[in-house]
Amino acid sequence: MNSAKEEVYQQCQTQIQALCEGEDDGIAKMASVAGVLHNEMADFFWTGFYRVVDGKLVIGPYQGSVGCLRIEFGKGVCGTAAATGETQVVEDVHEFPGHIACDERSQSEIVVPVRNESGDLIAVLDVDSAKKGAFDELDRVCLERILEDVFAGPVIP
């Protein structure tokens, strides 16, 4: 814990834990995560989930301008994260082959796979920024930690 950004992530995690305590509905939890992160984190221009539904990514709870509804596995940054199971950190979306531009103001992006307690991929969290290079290793570690805590951890009644 040594940067201001990490501190804000920690505060978000605490707030999300409190909101989601005892909650087992995935959509309710996604809405809470998107709501907290979007409003607390600087530079989060679009914050939301694409859920895995019948082998495709379908829009879930989000905050920001209108997002596209469906993304194929392997397409764009979200589809790449879903297909590889690996977090994608994109400094400049214009350099990412096949990037899907839902809002032309987006300049950089991070997409984190979301797994349930069985390790199944249930969604991806997509965050866009209107600034280039807004995301790095710290964002990856902190977002992965929050998502694991909320979606892969035990439900504490």
Contact pattern from residue 138 through residue 157 relative to ligand SME, giving x for each residue in contact according to CB under 6 A and a dash for the rest: --------------------
In the complex, least distance from residue 3 CB atom to ligand SME, rounded to whole angstroms: 26
In the complex, least distance from residue 153 CB atom to ligand SME, rounded to whole angstroms: 26
> How far apart are alpha carbons 9 and 57 in whole angstroms?
26
Helix, strand, coil percentages for the chain (3-state, nearest 5): 40, 25, 40
3 state DSSP class of 71? strand
Count, residues near ligand SME per rule CB under 6 A: 15
Which has the closest alpha carbon to 46: 55, 54, 38?
38
In the complex, least distance from residue 48 CB atom to ligand SME, rounded to whole angstroms: 7
Q: Measured in whole angstroms, how far is the alpha carbon of residue 60 from the centre of its chain?
A: 11
Residue nearest to ligand SME (CB): 76
In sequence order, what DSSP letters do the residues of 39-67 get, joined into one string? HHSTT--EEEEEEEETTEEEEEEEESSPP
Residue 113 contacts ligand SME per CB under 6 A: no
In the complex, least distance from residue 62 CB atom to ligand SME, rounded to whole angstroms: 7
Q: Which residues from 24-53 bind ligand SME, rule CB under 6 A? A: 46
Q: Which residues from 49-78 bind ligand SME, rule CB under 6 A? A: 67-68, 71, 76-78
- Whether residue 69 contacts residue 49, with contact meaning beta carbons closer than 8 Å, is answered with no
Q: Which chain residues interact with ligand SME by CB under 6 A?
A: 46, 67-68, 71, 76-79, 99-100, 102, 106, 109, 126, 128
